[in-house]
């Protein structure tokens, strides 16, 4: 990758023009003093998470889509109970639909032991069927208002590498220490109090900074998405960053239903000389999503986008890297549900060191994955094409 000044100055005018065209309702705040650490696998991520919970002194805030009653899930529960017993305030938001398979006794025990719980979007037929389509898909832990853990990991053995490789999820997580954590805490409070019909106590800008808030040189923007927004900040963040690329775009996502706007953005990037590579799953925990994703392969491949499918593990990482220095990473997939109907949390991390780590990891995964050939893809058969079209009719709801 080239890192000369010319390429940076080429990218900036495109970035500004696209911002003007999109006219976002509000631009995210850039937090410039953060230390960001990448966790390349589940074992590493959960070891760091458990250590931070054990060291918590004041508060632990957790927000998760899926929490399982398995080895990792019971381990997290034990650590949270131990934290409460030493005087730490623990608040947990969990998605009701995402945790349907988790026995009610798991959460009852946490509540009994002093963990404060909020089941997100409990079924209520007074709201018709709208409640069923709303999800809290975020994955976030905030410790003492100073350290945050984010990424694609849910709480479960398959995410932590505790199961057979074929059943393991290939995921990424990261931590942030610094100025950006204050905004993440405000987003958590907005959900916590909003679901109870109350106002959050303080906006992010009004909160006092922690003494060690200037802890690094990574610039971080928080991109919070949800169905209450009039337009999709999550999708616009992807679009703006794709449009700003000068040399290379690397994307990994498990559920690929990008829609025409993202597809056009990727094809425009190729036409201006950017190399675009997508890492997508060969196997999925939601097989219908594979069919939906593959229905757009031909258009992308003809336009020069390179596609690779991972078969060794089940891909679950959600990350986009622009020119080896700017990373969009978090809970959101490149699909319509994440754009419009889930509550999501992504971070834009502008840091060469972090970007270099992401690039090395993605290229290693791409090298061990299978490239998708256009000619082979076009011979997939009429029956598969028909199924893709039928599934595509319901793509919005998946």
pLDDT of residue 396: 58
Q: Give the per-residue pLDDT at 127.
A: 61
Looking at the fold, whether 346 and 395 belong to one and the same domain comes out as: yes
Same domain, 210 and 231: no
User: Which DSSP symbol is given to 28?
Assistant: P
User: Residue 174 falls within a domain, yes or no?
Assistant: yes
pLDDT of the residue at 71: 97
Parent domain of 262: 225-398
Q: Are residues 233 and 172 in the same domain?
A: no
Q: Does residue 76 sit in the same domain as residue 207?
A: yes
Q: Which of 217, 246, 281 is the last residue of a domain?
A: 217
Give yes or no: residues 151 and 268 share one domain: no
Among residues 159, 184, 217, the one where a domain terminates is 217
What pLDDT was estimated at residue 286?
85
Query: Is 342 found in the same domain as 204?
Result: no
Q: CA of 206: how far to CAs of 18, 186, 258, 372, in Å?
A: 30, 10, 36, 50
Centre a 10 Å sphere on the Cβ of residue 12 and count the other Cβ atoms it contains.
12
Question: Does some domain include residue 8?
Answer: no
* Residues in contact with 172: Cβ distance below 8 Å, sequence separation at least 6, in sequence order: 38, 39, 40, 151, 152, 252, 317, 318, 319, 329, 358, 361
Q: How far is CA 373 from CA 23, 265, 297, 304, 309, in A?
A: 38, 22, 10, 11, 11
Domain identity same for 120 and 232:
no
Identify whether the C-beta of residue 266 lies closer than 8 Å to the C-beta of residue 327.
no
Total domain count, the chain: 2
Per-residue pLDDT, 198: 79
Is residue 285 domain-shared with residue 241, that is, in the same domain? yes
pTM value surpassing 0.75:
yes
Whether residue 110 is contained in a domain is answered as yes
- In this structure, the chain runs to a length of 398
Which residues form the catalytic set? 137, 139, 144, 316, 318, 323
164 part of a folded domain: yes
Q: What is the pLDDT of residue 204?
A: 44
Residue 22, in any domain of the structure:
no
Residue with tokens 């960001």: 36
Question: Are residues 326 and 197 in contact, defined by beta-carbon separation less than 8 angstroms?
Answer: no
Same domain, 242 and 368: yes
Last residue within a domain, chosen from 217, 243, 267: 217
- Considering the domain architecture, whether residues 261 and 158 belong to the same structural domain is answered as no
**Whole-angstrom distance, CA of residue 118 vs CA of residue 65:** 12
For residue 205, what pLDDT is reported?
Answer: 42
Q: Is residue 6 part of a domain?
A: no
Spatial CB neighbours of 204, under 8 Å, sequence gap ≥ 6: 29, 182, 183, 185, 186, 187
List beta partners, residue 150: 140, 174
Check which CATH number belongs to the domain holding 209 and give it.
3.30.870.10
Same domain, 198 and 251: no
Q: Does 3 map to a domain?
A: no
Whether 292 and 391 map to the same domain: the answer is yes
Per-residue pLDDT of the chain (398 residues; tens, 9 = 90+): 555 544 555 555 555 555 555 444 456 789 999 999 999 899 999 999 999 999 999 999 999 999 999 999 999 999 999 999 999 999 999 999 999 999 999 999 999 999 999 999 888 766 666 666 789 999 999 999 999 999 999 999 999 988 887 889 999 999 999 999 999 999 999 999 988 877 777 644 445 445 454 679 999 999 999 877 778 899 999 999 999 999 999 999 999 999 999 999 999 999 999 999 999 999 998 888 888 888 899 999 999 999 999 999 999 999 999 999 999 999 999 999 999 889 999 999 999 999 999 999 999 999 999 999 999 888 776 667 676 666 666 665 66
Is the CA virtual torsion 253, 255, 256, 259 positive or negative? negative
Q: Say how far apart CA 165 and CA 170 lie, in whole Å.
A: 9
What tokens appear for 257 in the block?
């239903």
């Amino acid at each position: 990758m080239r890192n000369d000044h010319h390429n940076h100055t080429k990218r900036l005018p495109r970035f500004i023009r696209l911002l003007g065209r999109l006219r976002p309702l509000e631009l995210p705040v850039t937090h410039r003093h953060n230390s960001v650490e990448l966790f390349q696998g589940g074992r590493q991520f959960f070891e760091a998470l458990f250590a931070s919970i054990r060291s918590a002194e004041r508060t632990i805030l957790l927000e998760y889509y899926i929490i399982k009653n398995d080895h990792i899930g019971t381990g997290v529960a034990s650590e949270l109970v131990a934290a409460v017993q030493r005087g730490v305030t623990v608040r947990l938001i969990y998605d009701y639909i995402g945790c349907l398979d988790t026995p009610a006794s798991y959460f009852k025990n946490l509540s009994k032991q002093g963990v404060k719980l909020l089941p997100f979007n409990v079924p209520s037929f007074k709201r018709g069927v709208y409640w069923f389509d709303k999800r809290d898909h975020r994955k976030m832990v905030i410790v003492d208002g100073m350290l945050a853990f984010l990424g694609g990991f849910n709480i479960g053995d398959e995410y932590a590498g505790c199961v057979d490789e074929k059943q393991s999820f290939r995921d990424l997580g990261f931590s942030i220490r610094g100025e950006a954590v204050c905004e993440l805490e405000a987003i958590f409070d907005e959900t916590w109090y909003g679901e109870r019909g109350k106002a959050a106590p303080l906006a992010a800008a009004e909160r006092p900074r922690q003494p060690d808030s200037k802890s690094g040189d990574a610039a971080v923007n928080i991109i919070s998405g949800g169905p209450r927004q009039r337009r999709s900040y999550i999708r616009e963040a992807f679009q703006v960053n794709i449009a700003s690329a000068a040399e290379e775009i690397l994307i990994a996502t498990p559920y690929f239903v990008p829609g025409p706007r993202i597809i056009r953005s990727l094809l425009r990037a190729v036409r201006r000389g950017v190399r675009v590579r997508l890492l997508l799953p060969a196997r999925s925990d939601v097989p219908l999503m594979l069919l939906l994703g593959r229905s757009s392969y031909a258009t992308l491949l003809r336009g020069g986008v390179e596609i690779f499918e991972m078969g060794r593990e089940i891909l679950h990482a959600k990350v986009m890297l622009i020119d080896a220095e700017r990373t969009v990473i978090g809970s959101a997939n490149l699909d319509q549900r994440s754009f419009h109907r889930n509550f999501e949390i992504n971070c834009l991390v502008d840091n060469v060191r972090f970007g270099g780590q992401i690039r090395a990891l993605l290229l290693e995964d791409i090298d061990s994955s299978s490239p998708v050939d256009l000619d082979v893809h076009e011979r997939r058969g009429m029956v598969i094409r028909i199924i893709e079209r039928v599934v595509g009719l319901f793509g919005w709801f998946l």
